[in-house]
Amino acid sequence: MDSYFKLFAAGPLFFVSAWILMIFAGVVGADVGIRPFGYVTSMVVTAALWLTTAPAIGAIGRTPARNGKPGHDAAPHPPYAREG
């Protein structure tokens, strides 16, 4: 059930991402060499970016953690031995 709510929360984020992309393209368009584009084009580009990155993000998210805690190393690093 948790996945359902995460998917539901991603909906508004899609539209915000498209809006930010449209604003960003307008600001840096002259420097990059592109023409500013509208909101509909920004939505298409955002959908393409989400569809191409979603499989990679899903694969990384499903990778089991080595020690049961996501995002941590398998074991703490051993302390450095002091000589002398």
- Domain segments of the chain: what residues? 8-57
22 vs 15: CA distance, rounded Å: 11
CA neighbor of 16 nearest in space, from 41, 46, 51? 46
CA neighbor of 14 nearest in space, from 52, 59, 60, 45? 45
8-state DSSP, 63: S
- 39-72 pLDDT per residue, tens: 999 999 999 998 998 888 888 877 776 665 555 5
CA neighbor of 39 nearest in space, from 56, 54, 21, 27? 21
Mean pLDDT of the chain: 80
The answer to whether the beta carbons of residues 9 and 18 sit under 8 Å apart is no
> Which position has the higher pLDDT, 21 or 11?
21
pTM for the predicted model, two decimal places: 0.60
